[in-house]
DNA sequence: AACTAGGGAGTTTTT
DNA sequence: CTCCCTAGTT
């Protein structure tokens, strides 16, 4: 089978060069996923390389899944190469060899909020004033040290003031505690894997022989640790193919090191560099506009994307008077396009710079009855109730997890307050025991003291331990689902949620979340090969918001631009295009940060396939205060020839509902109630400043030659009329939009 | 020990 | 504006 015929010359070269290092500089929408998947298929089909000998590393689980799907359709083989994220690749290695590093096989993965909590408690224990060293600053210090593969001992010499010394101390204490808890944080996964491979040549050689062909996606986002890891893994065969785009590097703030891509040619001598510059995604207008923006960056490798696609619509730029008007404008445009271009809701995405901006848009989407899905913000598994239950599961899997103990020792309330917890923690600290063990010691002492009746807290502790022992035993022979159900039952978790004086809404959402959690366990049980608890816990630590994105669901997508990387949508709205928001005020201190913001803007713009809307407001409420922002500098960087000012409100708010009536189209909105069908009165009237009052022509006064104005298509002339009364259809030749056939009943035509 | 009210602070992006 | 933490009350 000749799969290479689907590729352009450059892509084919990239796919066919299977030996030696290859750097692919792939512009946005130039088919990089295609290249990687075809390369894997090519290796497999035409060179009979076994899937076991191929490693592909991606940035997100979603990208990995997409690749797996595409390879499946190419090779029809049921054997997959290992395609996964950096982090899960490391987990796989570490699960196998972590005992070499002194970890137990059932180590846990701490996510960033676990990391934060642990650091916070260390700072408290060290009696450091939070105002001098905040947990956040310590966290970012530790994380960036780890990103550059520096252990506490490596960071010592670099500083000598009080502040830096304390940071190193915190780092050192933190690392000890992680090990004591038998846990690793995200950065550890990389750092320990690198250490393992560096110090154990036999293990390295095992993986070198196993993974003979390595591919890395989104290479521009790799940090130093990931770079070293890749270098180690590719050391023997050097069949390394990395794909990246320096213009899409948007994670430098968390350690992504652009020099990994800029210096690839020096690090891997005699490498082949291939540029993919043909874009298959966007219209000429969108692509040229995006190019003109990113061209303002000085530090870039430089490439010029081109496309054979249509010219397309110009980019629409609209300035609204407030953030809720901006949201309303977007909603109305979406409805208009659903009607005028027969688009579906999953054609649309609304991007914003910060999560805080989503709220106003969400509110308006609900008011306008537009179903939407929002990504990012609080991760599902970060919700209180989920974290609580997961904490029980974690302890069952790894009784050394003191962090989870602290979390749930008094959830539900067992009469164990801070003073008793302190006592236990002190015992644990003195004896070096885990909290679990320390509680058992503590209870023994209470027992031998022979008091007539134990205190409420002591009773609670004994009950707690009894429960955990019982659950641990249960977990040996039962499924995760059963154990979780027992946790909920025995802790009376739901009763406690209801008993708290929380709003009905909150009770509902928590109940809903717990239900969703249970069904995610079922899903895991069904789809995973290994249904052990530790694999489940790994999975929920490493899953992210975007991973649940499903392009087939008929809903509008709301997400930050960061989350949009790697995705594409026919119609994209970028909101809040204002100085101070985008570029963000905190990112405006130096040119490097501005350049990163500009790349972010480039990423956002190049997600759009057919239409791109940029919106901003004249004034906006931020934290309760009205602010007047200037238009974003990125707007000014788009030449006028690719952009037009869109000051026309889509003046037909019920067009969307009519389409629903026409197509008998039904959709479900987030509140799960059905759409109201067909009536314009279901729209509350808004004061929208420059919106015209809507009038519907009932009498038929149109004839051939009548000049008309359409709210969306603009000015035109009637060239034909058919039918009568309600069924009248007119054919209009519009100046800018060409010839359209319209139903007089539906189109809001005005006589001029 | 548990709950409540009130003040203060902090607001980017997340594998 | 909203969340989170603290201090004070029951």
Residue A621, nucleotide of least CA–C1' distance = C1
A420 CA, C9 C1': Å apart: 21
Identify protein residues whose C-beta is within 7 angstroms of any atom in strand B: A 59-60, 85-87, 111-112, 136, 143, 186, 253-254, 353-356, 376, 379, 410, 413-420, 456-457, 501, 542, 544-546, 560, 562-563, 584, 586-587, 623
Closest C-alpha among A672, A381, A669, A371 to residue A520: A381
- The percent of residues in chain A predicted with pLDDT above 70, rounded, is 86
The residue from A114, A187, A217, A596 that is catalytic is A217
Q: Is the CB of A503 under 7 A from strand C?
A: no
Cα–Cα nearest to A461, from A489, A438, A492, A493: A438
Write down the catalytic residue from A10, A32, A288, A335: A32
Q: A32 an active-site residue?
A: yes
For the CA of A40 and the C1' of C1, the distance in angstroms is 51
**CA triplet A124, A125, A128: central angle to 5 degrees?**
55
For residue A436, the tally of other CB atoms under 10 A from its CB is 21
CA of A384 to C1' of C4 (A): 14
Give me chain A's average pLDDT, please: 83
Nucleotide nearest to A623 (CA to C1'): C1
C1'-nearest nucleotide to the CA of A359 = C1
Conformational region of residue A315, where left means phi above 0, alpha means psi within -120 to 50, and beta covers everything else: beta
User: What pLDDT does residue A154 have?
Assistant: 86
Quick one: which of A461, A513, A482, A460 has its CA closest to A393?
A: A482
Q: Which nucleotide is nearest to A115 (CA to C1')?
A: B14
* C1' of C3 to CA of A11 (Å): 51
- CA A83 to C1' B4 (Å) is 52
- Nearest-CA residue relative to C1' of B1: A417
C1’ C7 / CA A495, Å: 29
List the A252 CA – C1 C1' distance (angstroms): 30
Find the Å distance, CA of residue A551 to C1' of nucleotide B5.
Answer: 46
Tens of pLDDT, residue by residue over A595-641, are 999 999 999 999 999 999 999 998 888 887 888 888 999 999 999 99
Distance A426 CA to C2 C1' (A): 36
Q: Which residue is nearest to nucleotide B11 (CA to C1')?
A: A623
Q: Which nucleotide minimizes the distance between its C1' and the CA of A120?
A: C5
**Nearest protein residue to B13's C1' (by CA)?**
A562
Q: Which of A459, A413, A405, A407 is nearest to A436 (CA)?
A: A405
* Longest CA pairwise span in chain A (Å): 103
For A298-328, the DSSP string reads SSS-----EE-S---PPEEEEEESSHHHHHH
A404 near A388, Cβ under 8 Å? no
To the query of whether residue A402 is one of the catalytic residues in this protein, the response is no
Tell me, what's the pLDDT at A602? 96
Instruction: List, as one string, the DSSP characters of A606-672.
Output: TTEEEEEEEEEESEEEETTEEEE-PBPHHHHTS-GGGEEE-------TTHHHHHHHHHT---B-TTS
- Strand C close residues, chain A 238-297, CB < 7 angstroms: none
pTM of the entire predicted model: 0.81
Measuring alpha carbon to C1', the residue closest to nucleotide B12 is A354
Catalytic residue among A17, A33, A354, A688: A33
The low-confidence residues of chain A, meaning pLDDT below 70, are 1, 156-160, 450-452, 501-502, 545-548, 648-701, 703-705, 711-720, 722-727, 731-741, 745-746
pLDDT of the residue at A673: 27
- How high is the pLDDT of residue A676? 26
pLDDT of residue A79: 79
Q: Of A212, A248, A278, A557, which one is the catalytic site residue? A: A248
> Which residues sit opposite A274 in a β-bridge?
A24
Give, as ranges, the nucleotides of chain B with any atom within 7 Å of a protein CB.
1-4, 10-15
Question: Which SS3 state, helix, strand or coil, does residue A354 take?
Answer: coil
Q: Measured from the CB, is A623 under 7 Å from any atom of strand C? A: yes
* Nearest nucleotide relative to A357: CA against C1': B12
Nucleotide in closest CA–C1' contact with A624:
C1
- Distance of C1' in B4 from CA in A502, Å: 14
User: What's residue A427's pLDDT?
Assistant: 85
Is A624 within 7 A of strand C by CB distance? yes
Closest of A647, A742, A737 to residue A697, by C-alpha: A742
CB A349 within 8 A of CB A607: yes
What positions of strand C are covered by protein, i.e. any atom < 7 Å from a CB? Answer: 1
Q: Which nucleotide comes closest to A622 if you measure CA to C1'?
A: C1
Q: Is A300 a catalytic residue?
A: no
Best CA proximity match to A740, nearest among A707, A716, A704, A705: A716
């Amino acid at each position: 089978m000749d799969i290479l015929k689907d590729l352009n010359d450059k892509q084919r070269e990239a796919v066919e060069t299977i030996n030696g290092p290859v750097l692919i500089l792939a512009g946005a929408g130039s088919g990089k996923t295609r290249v990687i998947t075809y390369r894997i298929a090519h290796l497999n089909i035409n060179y009979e390389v076994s899937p076991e000998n191929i490693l592909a590393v991606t940035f997100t689980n979603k990208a990995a899944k997409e690749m797996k799907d595409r390879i499946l359709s190419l090779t029809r083989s049921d054997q997959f190469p290992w395609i996964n994220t950096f982090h899960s690749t490391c987990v796989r290695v570490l699960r196998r060899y972590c005992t070499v590093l002194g970890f137990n096989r059932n180590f846990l993965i701490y996510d960033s909020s676990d990391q934060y909590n642990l650091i916070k408690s260390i700072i408290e224990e060290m009696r450091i004033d939070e105002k001098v060293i905040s947990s956040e600053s310590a966290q970012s210090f530790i994380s960036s040290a780890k990103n550059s593969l520096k252990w506490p001992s490596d960071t010592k010499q670099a500083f000598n003031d009080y502040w830096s010394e304390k940071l190193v101390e915190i780092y050192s204490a933190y690392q000890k505690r992680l090990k004591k808890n038998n846990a690793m944080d995200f950065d550890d996964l990389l750092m320990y894997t690198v250490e393992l491979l560096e110090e154990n040549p036999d293990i390295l050689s095992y993986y070198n022989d196993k993974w003979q062909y390595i591919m890395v996606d989104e290479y521009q986002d790799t940090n130093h640790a990931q770079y070293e890891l890749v270098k180690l893994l590719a050391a023997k065969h050097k069949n390394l193919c990395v794909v990246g785009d320096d213009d899409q590097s948007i994670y430098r703030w968390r350690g992504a090191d652009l020099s990994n891509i800029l210096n690839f040619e020096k690090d891997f001598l005699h490498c082949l560099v291939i540029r993919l510059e043909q874009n298959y995604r966007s219209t000429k207008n969108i692509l040229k506009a995006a190019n003109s923006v990113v061209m303002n960056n000085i530090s870039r490798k430089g490439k010029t994307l081109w496309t054979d696609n249509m010219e397309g619509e110009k980019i629409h730029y609209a300035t609204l008077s407030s953030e809720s008007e901006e949201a309303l404008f977007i909603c109305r445009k979406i409805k208009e396009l659903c009607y005028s271009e027969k688009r579906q809701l999953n054609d649309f995405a609304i991007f914003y710079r910060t999560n805080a901006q989503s709220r106003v848009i969400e509110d308006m989407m609900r008011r306008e009855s537009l179903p939407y899905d929002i990504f990012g913000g609080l991760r599902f598994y970060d919700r209180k109730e989920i974290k609580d239950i997961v904490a029980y599961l974690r302890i069952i899997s790894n009784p050394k997890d003191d962090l989870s103990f602290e979390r749930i020792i008094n959830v539900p309330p067992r009469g164990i307050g801070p003073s008793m917890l302190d006592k236990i923690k002190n015992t644990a600290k003195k004896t070096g025991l885990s909290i679990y063990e320390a509680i058992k010691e503590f209870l023994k002492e209470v027992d031998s003291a022979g008091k007539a009746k134990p205190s409420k807290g002591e009773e609670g502790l004994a009950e707690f331990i009894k429960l955990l022992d019982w659950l641990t035993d249960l977990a040996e022979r039962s499924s995760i689902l059963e154990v979780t159900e027992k946790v909920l039952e025995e802790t009376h978790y739901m009763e406690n949620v209801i008993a708290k004086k929380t709003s009905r809404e909150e009770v509902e959402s928590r109940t809903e979340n717990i239900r969703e959690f249970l069904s995610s366990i079922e899903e895991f049980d069904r789809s995973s090969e290994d249904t052990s608890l530790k694999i489940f816990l790994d999975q929920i630590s490493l899953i992210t918001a975007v991973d649940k994105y499903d392009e087939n669901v008929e809903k509008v997508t709301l997400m930050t631009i960061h989350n949009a990387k790697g995705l594409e949508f026919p119609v994209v709205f970028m909101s809040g295009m204002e100085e101070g928001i985008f570029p963000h005020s905190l990112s405006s201190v130096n040119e490097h940060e501005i350049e990163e913001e500009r790349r972010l803007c480039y990423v956002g713009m190049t997600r759009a396939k057919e239409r791109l809307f940029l919106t901003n407001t004249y004034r906006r409420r931020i934290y309760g205060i009205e602010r007047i922002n200037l238009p974003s500098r990125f707007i000014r960087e788009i030449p006028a020839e690719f952009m037009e000012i869109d000051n026309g409100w889509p003046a037909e708010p019920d067009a969307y509902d009519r389409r629903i009536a026409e197509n008998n189209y039904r959709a479900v909105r987030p509140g799960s109630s059905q759409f109201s069908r067909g009536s314009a009165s279901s729209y509350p009237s808004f004061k929208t400043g420059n919106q015209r009052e809507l009038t519907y022509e009932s009498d038929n006064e149109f004839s051939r030659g009548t000049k008309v104005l359409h709210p969306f298509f603009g000015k035109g002339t009637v060239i034909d009329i058919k039918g009568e009364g309600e069924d009248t259809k007119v054919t209009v030749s519009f100046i800018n939009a060409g010839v359209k056939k319209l139903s007089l009943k539906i189109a809001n035509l005005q006589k001029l």
